């Protein structure tokens, strides 16, 4: 009796233990069913030997999976996923099983109903894209559940030697058709933004042709390639037949992203010159990454160097691949952490915000890389958040790097602008000092002409006139010599005044211009000259400004009297705001300014006006021409 009791208790206990295995609750897929995540309603079977067939699997015990998403981490096994579907309605139900991981190497769906076994085609990213039940970036398997029928699905998954995530979602077929656009919209937006950054970085590279822009362009290109491969859109639309590249796209682009980012950081912060030990460390990390890339491609089917490929879509052993993937994730984590600490180190040393922004940008990349690593290791679920986090983080990091690059070029532009301004100021300072030196030298020459040559000529003229009175028979010729000598003296006097008009010191600018106009009027009786002016604050006018305006007025009046063939000339001196405006207009024959500006006189006028931050304008009139000179009253003279 006791034996029977013990056996009964044992049977009950065994039944309780095995109940979850054999009594899998089916998913109800009636008329009101639209969408469901299957992860919590599935059971798993691990095929360590990688030899089980579907007939053997049907009789094997499965283990219930209770996680939010099927994530088995790094593994070297095949896996079978079992689920059950029940249609309680009297209408046939058309469903789609979506495997949201587009990077599974091989998978096949089996459905069992009423003893009948149906098999889908063998698909996966180790086969051309068209070898799928439905052409879609994700894997889609159509399932038909007849009325009042229960079916059992067995999904075979081969991704041994790598990380295994099997996110499953069940859709009503019509409901899926009306909601699938969201995936294309989101991914298309992210890839479009990434493509725009690639185009901008290419233009920056072609325009600046710097190593910094080359590394930035490389970074943006490989980020875009990673995003394209990560979402499965690359295999769907860009390389549907390149199975050798599909498996290598993500690890290759990831390694190249890290290499490009390290080269960018080296060049951006000039680590080789500023922090040699940090530069040497980044060089070591780049060398390790390059070695991993070479190892990866040396075993790729396209460039295989060994007979027994471990990365071949058909023949490969997962042991070495598993070690490689783990090593890649570890090096990637070290690389990203290093860049973050480099940014913080530079910020701590220099207090430049660029170091902090670089640390923040690469912190986003580190967050993306860590999430991928933890998902691949099986510590985080493979859900919408972890799937889309790399897209958002890489986009955010690209924005920050673009901001850093734009800020660097802005600073370079401002520095160049400052240098150009300083050079222009130095040129202006030199020019003004030259003008001031000319004025001093002119004043000295004027003084010598007035006090020396002019007085000597006057004395000679006086003595010659006395001598002429004593001559008999040569009176006319003597008078001619006296008159000619007087004209030479007058010319010397005018030349002396032109060099440094004493009238400016005695009467100011307006009085000097009045005397100038009157002198020219006296020497040209047939010409009508008029002068108009406003009252000016003489005490506020700088000597160089008054000298320049006087010399320009003299030059323009000489041109009008000698070359313009004019009958009337008007000179105006007014004040407009904080500037003096000199206008000289005539009714002569005029001239073409663009052709005549090559003359020395006009060139001198333009050069003098520009040195004083002024403007010189020539305006043709219906008859004649008008010259306008505008010079600020207060000009920085540097003396």
Over range 216-224, report the average pLDDT.
92
Residue 11 has pLDDT above 50, yes or no: no
Same domain membership, residue 192 and residue 175: no
Among 47-51, 295-299, 310-314, name the most confident range.
47-51
CATH number at residue 611: 3.30.565.10
Residue 594 has pLDDT above 60, yes or no: no
Last residue of one domain, picked from the residues 119, 147, 179: 179
Check residue 396 and give its pLDDT.
77
On whether residue 470 sits in a domain, the answer given is no
- The single residue listed with the structure tokens 């160097």 is 305
Residue 252: which residues within 8 A CB-CB, separation 6 or more?
293, 296, 297
Same domain membership, residue 198 and residue 168: no
On whether residue 473 sits in a domain, the answer given is no
Residue 327 has pLDDT above 90, yes or no: no
Residue 93 — pLDDT band, cuts 50, 70, 90? very high
Residue 4 — pLDDT band, cuts 50, 70, 90? very low
Rounded Cα distance between 45 and 48, Å, is: 9
Over range 363-380, report the average pLDDT.
77
Same domain membership, residue 367 and residue 321: yes
Same domain membership, residue 255 and residue 297: yes
Residue 450 has pLDDT above 70, yes or no: no
On whether residue 628 sits in a domain, the answer given is yes
Same domain membership, residue 164 and residue 209: no
Last residue of one domain, picked from the residues 421, 453, 470: 421
| HEC per residue, 168-233 | EEEEEHHHHHHHCHHHHHHHHHHHHHHHHHHHHHHHHHHHHCCHHHHHHHHHHHHHHHHHHHHCCH
Domain count, the chain: 3
Same domain membership, residue 219 and residue 158: no
Check residue 253 and give its pLDDT.
92
Virtual torsion, Cα 500, 506, 511, 516, nearest 10 deg: -30
**Across 250-259, 400-409, 464-473, least confident range:** 464-473
Rounded Cα distance between 47 and 39, Å, is: 19
Distances (CA, A) of 160 to 73, 74, 78, 369: 10, 8, 6, 21
Last residue of one domain, picked from the residues 421, 447, 478: 421
Q: Which residue range(s) make up the domain with 192?
A: 183-421
Same domain membership, residue 614 and residue 577: yes
Residue 25 — pLDDT band, cuts 50, 70, 90? confident
Residue 382 has pLDDT above 80, yes or no: no
Question: What percent of the chain stands above pLDDT 90?
Answer: 28
Q: Which residue has the higher pLDDT, 425 or 320?
A: 425
On whether residue 21 sits in a domain, the answer given is yes
Same domain membership, residue 27 and residue 116: yes
Same domain membership, residue 268 and residue 162: no
Check residue 5 and give its pLDDT.
40
DSSP alpha helices (H): ranges in 524-599?
543-562, 593-596
Check residue 446 and give its pLDDT.
63
Distances (CA, A) of 46 to 78, 94, 125, 379, 512: 6, 29, 21, 19, 108
Cα 329 off chain centre by? 30
Check residue 600 and give its pLDDT.
66
Residue 248 — pLDDT band, cuts 50, 70, 90? confident
Same domain membership, residue 245 and residue 152: no
Same domain membership, residue 200 and residue 171: no
Residue 597 — pLDDT band, cuts 50, 70, 90? low
Over range 278-293, report the average pLDDT.
90
CATH number at residue 373: 1.20.1070
Check residue 331 and give its pLDDT.
82
DSSP 384-427: HHHHHHHHHHHHHHHHHHHHHHHHHHHHHHHHHHHHHHHHHHHH
Check residue 244 and give its pLDDT.
83
On whether residue 169 sits in a domain, the answer given is yes
Q: Which residue has the higher pLDDT, 518 or 590?
A: 518
Check residue 102 and give its pLDDT.
93
On whether residue 438 sits in a domain, the answer given is no
**Across 95-104, 352-361, 533-542, least confident range:** 533-542
Count, residues in the chain: 639
On whether residue 472 sits in a domain, the answer given is no
CATH number at residue 39: 2.60.40.2380
Q: Which residue has the higher pLDDT, 531 or 309?
A: 531
Residue 302 — pLDDT band, cuts 50, 70, 90? low
CB 57 within 8 A of CB 152: no
For residue 34, the SS3 value is coil
pLDDT tens across 523-554, in order? 788 888 888 887 776 556 777 788 888 888 88
Q: Are strands 568-576 and 528-533 parallel, antiparallel or unpaired?
A: parallel
Residue-averaged pLDDT of the chain: 81
Check residue 490 and give its pLDDT.
64
Check residue 315 and give its pLDDT.
39
Residue 511: which residues within 8 A CB-CB, separation 6 or more?
503
Check residue 461 and give its pLDDT.
64
Rounded Cα distance between 229 and 239, Å, is: 10
Check residue 308 and give its pLDDT.
44
On whether residue 460 sits in a domain, the answer given is no
Residue 79 — pLDDT band, cuts 50, 70, 90? very high
Rounded Cα distance between 132 and 140, Å, is: 8
Same domain membership, residue 53 and residue 25: yes
CB 140 within 8 A of CB 133: yes
Residue 638 — pLDDT band, cuts 50, 70, 90? low
**Across 39-43, 116-120, 156-160, 429-433, least confident range:** 429-433
Rounded Cα distance between 375 and 329, Å, is: 11
Residue 27 — pLDDT band, cuts 50, 70, 90? very high
Check residue 358 and give its pLDDT.
82
**Across 66-80, 446-460, 577-591, least confident range:** 446-460
When computed from its CA atoms, the radius of gyration of the chain, rounded to whole angstroms, is 46
Residue 16 has pLDDT above 50, yes or no: no
Among 120-129, 239-248, 490-499, name the most confident range.
120-129
Check residue 607 and give its pLDDT.
80
Check residue 400 and give its pLDDT.
80
């Amino acid at each position: 009796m006791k034996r029977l009791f013990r056996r009964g208790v044992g049977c009950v206990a065994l039944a309780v233990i095995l109940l979850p295995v054999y009594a899998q609750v089916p998913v109800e897929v009636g008329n009101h069913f639209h969408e469901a995540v299957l992860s919590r309603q599935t059971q798993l079977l691990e095929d360590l030997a990688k030899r089980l067939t579907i007939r053997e699997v049907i009789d094997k015990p499965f283990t219930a999976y209770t996680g939010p998403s099927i994530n088995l981490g790094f593994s070297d096994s095949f896996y079978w996923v079992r689920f059950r579907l029940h249609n309680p309605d009297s209408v046939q139900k058309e469903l789609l099983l979506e495997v949201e991981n587009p990077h599974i190497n091989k998978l096949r769906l089996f459905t069992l109903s009423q003893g009948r076994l149906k098999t889908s085609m063998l698909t996966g990213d180790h086969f051309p894209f068209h070898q799928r039940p439905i052409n879609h970036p994700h894997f889609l398997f159509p399932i038909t559940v007849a009325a009042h029928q229960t079916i059992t699905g067995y999904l075979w998954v081969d991704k041994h030697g790598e990380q295994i995530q099997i996110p499953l979602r069940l859709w009503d077929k019509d409901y899926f058709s009306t909601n699938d656009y969201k995936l294309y919209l989101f991914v298309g937006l992210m890839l479009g933004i990434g493509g725009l950054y690639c185009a901008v970085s290419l233009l920056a590279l072609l325009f600046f042709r710097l190593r910094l822009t080359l590394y930035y362009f490389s970074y943006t290109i490989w980020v875009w390639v990673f995003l394209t491969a990560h979402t499965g859109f690359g295999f769907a639309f860009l390389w549907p037949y390149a199975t050798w590249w599909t498996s290598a796209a993500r690890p290759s682009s990831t390694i190249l992203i890290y290499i490009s980012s390290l080269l960018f950081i080296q060049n951006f912060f000039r680590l080789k010159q500023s922090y040699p030990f940090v530069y040497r460390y980044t060089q070591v990390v780049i060398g390790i990454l390059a070695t991993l890339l070479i190892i990866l491609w040396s075993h790729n089917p396209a460039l295989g160097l060994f007979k027994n490929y471990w990365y071949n879509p058909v023949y490969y052993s997962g042991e070495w691949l598993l070690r490689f993937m783990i090593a890649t994730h570890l090096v990637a984590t070290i690389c990203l952490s290093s860049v973050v600490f480099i940014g913080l180190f530079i910020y701590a040393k220099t207090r430049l915000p660029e170091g902090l922004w670089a640390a923040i940008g690469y912190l986003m990349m580190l967050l993306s890389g860590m999430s991928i690593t933890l998902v691949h290791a099986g510590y985080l679920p493979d859900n919408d958040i972890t799937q889309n986090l790399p897209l958002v983080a890489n986009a955010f990091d690209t924005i920050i790097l673009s901001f850093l690059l734009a800020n660097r070029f802005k600073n370079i532009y401002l520095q160049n602008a400052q240098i150009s301004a300083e050079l222009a100021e130095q040129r202006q300072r030199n020019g003004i000092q030259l003008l001031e030196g000319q004025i001093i030298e002119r004043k000295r020459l004027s003084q010598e002409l007035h006090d020396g040559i002019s007085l000597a000529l006057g004395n000679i003229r006086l003595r010659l006139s006395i001598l002429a009175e004593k001559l008999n028979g040569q009176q006319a010729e003597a008078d001619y010599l006296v008159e000619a000598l007087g004209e030479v003296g007058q010319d010397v006097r005018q030349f002396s005044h032109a060099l440094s008009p004493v009238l400016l010191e005695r009467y100011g600018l307006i009085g000097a211009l009045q005397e100038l106009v009157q002198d020219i009027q006296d020497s040209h009786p047939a010409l009508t000259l008029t002068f108009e002016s406003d009252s000016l604050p003489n005490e506020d006018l700088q000597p160089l400004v008054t000298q320049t305006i006087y010399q320009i007025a003299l030059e323009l009046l000489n041109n009008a009297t000698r070359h313009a063939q004019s009958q009337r000339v008007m000179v105006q001196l007014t004040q407009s705001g904080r500037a003096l405006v000199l206008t000289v207009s005539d009714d002569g024959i005029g001239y073409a300014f663009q052709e005549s500006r090559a003359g020395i006189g006009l060139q001198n006028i333009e050069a003098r006006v520009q040195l004083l931050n002024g403007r010189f304008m020539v305006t043709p009139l219906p008859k004649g021409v008008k010259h306008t000179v505008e010079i600020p009253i207060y000009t920085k003279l540097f003396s």
